[in-house]
Amino acid sequence: MRTSRRMWLVFFLGPATVVFATFITYPILSALAFSMYAWEGIGRRGFIGLANFARLFATFPYSGLLVNAFWHNVLVFVVTMLIQNVTALGLAVLLARSPWGTRGYRVVFFLPVMLSLVIVGFLWALFLNPIFGLVNKFLTLAHAGALARPWLGDASTALLTLIVVNAWRWLGFPTIVFLAGINAVPEEYVEAARIDGAGEWDVIRRIIFPLLAPAVTIIVLLTFIGSFNWFELPYIMQGVSGAPNRATDVLSLLFYRTAFGEVDTGLQDIGIGSAIAVLMFALLLTVSAVGAVLLRRREVELA
Amino acid sequence: MICLLVAGFYPAAATGQQPVKLTFWSWRVEDKWAYDKIIQAFQQRNPGIQVEFVPFKATEYNTILSSALTAGKGPDIIHLRAYGGLETFAAPGYIAQLDFDKLPELKTFSRQLLDGARGRKDGKLYGVPFATQSLVIYYNKKIFAQNNLSVPKTWDEFLTVLKTLKDHGVLPLANGGKEGWTLEVMSGVVAPNFYGGTAFYDAVTRGQTSFKDTAYTNALAKMLDLRPYMHPNFMGVDYTTMQQQFINEQAAMFIGGSWEIGFFKAQNKDLDFDIFVAPPSKAGTTPWVSSYNDGNYGVNAKTPYMDAALKFIQFTATREFGQMFTDMLAQLSAVPGVEVRDPILKHVQELSRKATPYIMLVGFRWQAPTGSTLLQSALQGMMAGSKTPEQVGDEVTKGLSAWFEPFQGR
């Protein structure tokens, strides 16, 4: 009995483990190795220990670019938490009360999540085009032409615009997760609270939020990982250089640029690129692990 | 029976084995039709060799090529960029070395173009240059005529033309700043006349001066003169929008490279346009025109069909190839003596007699961070008003000092 169960485990987990090892573990380990070698173009040269890391931290412009990109990732995480996840929580609370047309709303909120990110990026880049884009046209029609600006070309608005587009795309996902969490709260608890004289806000704050903690843990961790691995949307909408003037540069773009080069612009520096990849991996691993432990602690077990 | 079989096989063996099949990788997806025709002409002359042209998306080409070459694979014939873009692959030994003995045709090529096919470290040749590009100003002849304007001879006249157009409600310049490289192109057009062209290029590449030199930063400052004549939201205008504005006659001028001619013509048959080069500050002086080797055809050092591959790139160095290339793609072939039939392209050729190297590409794209990477994002800052030309010069010099020793400590 034991052995056959083990056989089944191997049978089912084996393929996934092999895929994971080849496409995740091996590249991570090879990036770690690459980061400790000298490179000449795409050719690997001698072992140089931590010299690439030293170069990354100590030479202009890499040191500045690294810090710049890191703070952008932090901003992406914080703002996404604030506008995407808080909105999602609000929508979930509203949807949980099953207003008229709940099903319709659920589909509408979730629809952008199913669109390909490439399409979302191209569409919004068109909407935001400063000359013929819908956004500026609409502002002019609404007599708010003074607000019209090159949203993606202005260093002060570019990153925030990308974050908003990203939140538009993803909003449905945390909404559905929170909604499922709220629906899982046993009806008796809510009823008991109501009988004890709790108002609407008290029910949400004292009953629903504490029991929603597992969903919050998942969403916070996924938002964190998503924010620090953020690549596709800025790449599609702004290109690989974090334009304008590094205003939308994030760690993944910086990594991609240094490891693979920019077409007709920059050359690759695989040593520095790998060093960035290793740092990103270490950061994600540590923060996710610590975050998971801390967030789990405040989850309440349902009896 | 056996005799018959042997007789049946014999002729095949006599005329040579299976034809050699070569693959040719490129990033020129839009030029596939032309390359297919050129390859047909080559195959007619060389029946034993078949060549397949396989283009990839330009933005992914380097990544795909790097992975293939490091894995010991890749095509037999490789479309390569020039200068530092060639060095990346040539220095580690992935590209076959060429010389005048193997390809005597190269002896007639201009030295400036061949420099774009050489390794910086060893000075050896690694490819056959295919095109030369110049940076120019396109103008819409109809819009100029409607506003009684003629081609400006000096920088001040140029500014007057821009102002007249703006006063008449026409967008004078299609250019934008969302993609940094289009600003580098703009600097390549505007700056050389003010920093003194090749004399400054020689001095800065020898390390006698740096980009902090006021000659250079004052030249960059001239770009700011153009800012009022670009779209008010130009920082959000990307390359495609720039092209569309000029093609659809929404803008009178477009500062760009000679590679646009074919595309502009194909997109709008009625577009009546020509080019002029950046006007100098004083009338009567011949203006400097930034130009460069656009790229090279090279051979994979590990190809099993070295002779056949060499034969093909030898063909790309002939007048016959150059003529087909120029006629079909409206680009200036690198092969000397090719007759340019397209009137606008001919104009480019005539006006770029006083050519100066496109400064960052030719001189400072050899190692990361490249001069282009540094300049492009700094120029975005400058055009948006958050950096001064002096700060741009500082940043570029400081960034390059990571690998360009003469700039260290400057």
Contact residues, chain B, for A266 at CB < 8 Å: 368-370, 372-373
B153 CB-contact burial (10 Å; exposed 0-12 / middle 13-18 / buried 19+): middle
Asked if B228 has any chain A CB less than 8 Å from its own CB, the reply is no
pLDDT for residue B322: 96
Q: Is residue B348 part of a domain?
A: no
Partner B contacted by A165 (CB < 8 A): no
- Residue partners of A86: CB distance under 8 A and separation at least 6: none
Q: Do A267 and B366 touch (CB under 8 A)?
A: yes
Contact between chains at B84 and A267 (C-beta distance less than 8 A): yes
Residue B33 lies in a domain: yes
Q: What is the reported pLDDT for B4? A: 42
Strand bridging mode A43-47 / A37-40: antiparallel
Chain B, nearest residue to A148 by Cα: B233
pLDDT at B12 over 70: no
Per the domain annotation, does A271 fall within a domain?
yes
Give the tokens for residue A81: 């938490």
H/E element, A107: helix A102-114
Tokens of B221: 């400052």
Q: Residue B182: what pLDDT?
A: 96
Nearest to B88 among A151, A262, A268 (CB): A268
Q: What number of CA atoms fall less than 13 Å from residue B229's CA on the CB side?
A: 24
At B381, which helix (H) or strand (E)? helix B371-384
Query: Which DSSP state fits A262?
Result: B
- The shortest C-alpha distance from B111 to chain A (Å) reads 22
CB proximity under 8 Å: A 271-290 to B: 272
Whether B222 and B159 map to the same domain: the answer is yes
Q: Are residues B269 and B190 in the same domain?
A: yes
Q: CA separation (Å) from B114 to A145, A260, B100?
A: 53, 26, 11
Residues B154 and B263 in one domain: yes
On chain B, the residues whose CB falls within 8 A of the CB of A260 are: 62-63, 66
> Residue B161: pLDDT above 70?
yes
In the block, residue with structure tokens 């502009």:
B264
> For the residues A137-160, what does the mean pLDDT come to?
92
B374: nearest CA in chain A?
A: A61
Q: How many domains does chain B have?
A: 2
Average pLDDT over residues B107-116: 91
Cβ(A155)–Cβ(A245) under 8 Å? yes
Q: Testing the interface with A: which of B78, B245, B300, B373 to mutate, by most A Cβ within 10 A?
A: B373
Beta strands in B280-382 (DSSP E): 289-299, 332-333, 355-357
Residue A191 resides in a domain: yes
B369 touches chain A (CB under 8 A): yes
Residue B296 makes CB contacts below 8 A (sequence gap 6+) with B79, B80, B81, B82, B86, B116, B117, B126, B127, B128, B129, B130
Please tell me the distance from the alpha carbon of residue A194 to that of residue A197, in angstroms, as a whole number: 5
Question: Given CB atoms, is A153 within the 8 Å cutoff of chain B?
Answer: yes
Q: Is residue A16 part of a domain?
A: no
| Residues B309 and B379 both lie in one domain | no
Average pLDDT score over residue span A69-95: 96
Do B259 and B182 share a structural domain? yes
Is residue A117 assigned to a domain?
yes
The H or E element containing residue B262 is helix B260-267
Q: Could you tell me if B328 and B266 are in contact, meaning their C-beta atoms sit under 8 angstroms apart?
A: no
Closest CA to B288 of B174, B200, B181: B200
Mark whether B126 and B56 lie in a shared domain.
yes
Distances (CA, A) of B161 to B154, B228, B344: 11, 13, 21
Per-residue pLDDT for A163 more than 80?
Answer: yes
Mean pLDDT for the stretch of residues B344-349: 94
Locate the chain B residue with the closest alpha carbon to A267. B368
Residue B8's pLDDT band, with cuts at 50, 70 and 90, is very low
Whether A1 is in a domain gets the answer: no
Collect all residues with Cβ–Cβ distance below 8 Å to A65 and sequence separation of at least 6.
Answer: A246, A249, A254
Split at pLDDT 50, 70, 90, the class of A262 is confident
| Alpha carbon distance B317, B338 (integer Å) | 11
Do B220 and B277 share a domain, yes or no? Answer: yes
B1-5, B143-147, B172-176, B400-404: range with lowest mean pLDDT: B1-5
Residue linked to tokens 């001189």: B363
Alpha-carbon distance values, A154 to A69, B165, B221, B356 (Å): 17, 26, 20, 33
Q: Is the domain of B176 the same as that of B249?
A: yes
- Region B109-115 average pLDDT: 91
Is B243 within 8 Å of chain A by CB?
Answer: no
Asked if the Cβ–Cβ distance from A41 to B89 is below 8 Å, we say yes
A196 phi/psi in degrees, rounded to 5? -75, 0
User: Which residue do the tokens 């018959």 mark?
Assistant: B4
**Within this chain, do residues B188 and B207 fall inside the same structural domain, yes or no?**
yes
The pLDDT tens digits for A178-224 are 999 999 999 999 999 999 998 888 999 999 999 999 999 999 999 99
Determine, for residues B70 and A42 on separate chains, whether the beta-carbon distance falls below 8 Å. Answer: yes
User: At which residue do the structure tokens 């050129």 appear?
Assistant: B38
Cβ of residue B126 closer than 8 Å to a chain A Cβ: no
Separation between Cα atoms, residue B276 and residue B4, nearest integer Å = 71
Q: What is the CATH number of the domain that holds A229?
A: 1.10.3720.10
B259: helix, strand or coil: coil
Tell whether A36 is within 8 A of chain B (Cβ): no
- What are the E-state strand segments in B160-237? 171-173
- Take residue B106 and report the two structure tokens written for it: 């190269």
Question: Is any Cβ of chain A less than 8 angstroms from the Cβ of B227?
Answer: no
pLDDT category of residue B6 using cuts at 50, 70 and 90 = very low
Nearest residue of chain A to residue B398 (CA atoms):
A60
A258: closest CA of chain B, how far (Å)? 8
Residue B114's CATH number:
3.40.190.10
B10 lies in some domain? no
**Pair B347, B368: CB distance under 8 Å:** no
Per-residue pLDDT for B9 more than 90? no
Contact: B237, A130; criterion CB under 8 Å: yes
Q: Identify which of A237, A273, A243, A271 has the alpha carbon closest to the alpha carbon of residue A256.
A: A273
Q: Which residues of chain A lie closer than 8 angstroms to B372, CB-CB?
A: 264-266
Q: Where residue B45 falls among pLDDT bands split at 50, 70, 90?
A: very high
Residue A74, helix vs strand vs coil = helix
Is residue B86 one of the residues assigned to a domain? yes
- Domain of residue B360: give its range: 133-291+356-407
How many Å apart are CA B113 and CA B197, to the nearest integer? Answer: 17
Helix residue spans in A128-241 (DSSP H): 134-141, 158-170, 172-183, 187-195, 200-202, 209-211, 213-228, 232-238
Asked if B155 and B255 sit in the same domain, the reply is yes
What's the one-letter identity of residue A130?
Answer: P
Q: Are B268 and B305 part of one and the same domain? A: no
Alpha carbon of B134: minimum distance to chain A alpha carbons (Å) = 15
Q: Answer whether A42 sits within 8 Å of B85, measured CB to CB.
A: no
Instruction: Check if A232 contacts B (Cβ < 8 Å).
Output: no
Residue B290 banded pLDDT, cuts 50, 70, 90: very high
Q: How confident is the model at residue B13 (pLDDT cuts 50, 70, 90)?
A: very low
Instruction: Please give the residue of chain B at the shortest CA–CA distance from A41.
Output: B88
Cα angle for residues A276, A282, A283 (degrees, 5° grid): 90
* Closest to B80 in 3D by CA, of B41, B155, B27, B124: B27
A140 touches chain B (CB under 8 A): no
Tell me how far apart the alpha carbons of residues B38 and B26 are, in angstroms, rounded to a whole number: 14
Average pLDDT of chain B is 92
Containing domain of residue A277, as a range?
A: 60-297
Q: What is the mean pLDDT of residues A145-173?
A: 95
A72 lies within 8 A of chain B by CB: no
Let me know if residue B351 belongs to a domain.
no
- Is A196 domain-assigned? yes
Are B181 and A265 in contact (CB < 8 Å)? yes
Q: What is the mean pLDDT of chain A?
A: 91
Number of domains within chain A: 1
Based on the fold, state whether residues B109 and B52 are members of the same structural domain. Answer: yes
Residue B11 has pLDDT above 60, yes or no: no
| Inter-CA distances, A100 with A87, A178, A200, A253, Å | 20, 19, 19, 44
Q: Which has the closest alpha carbon to A136: A153, A122, A120?
A: A153
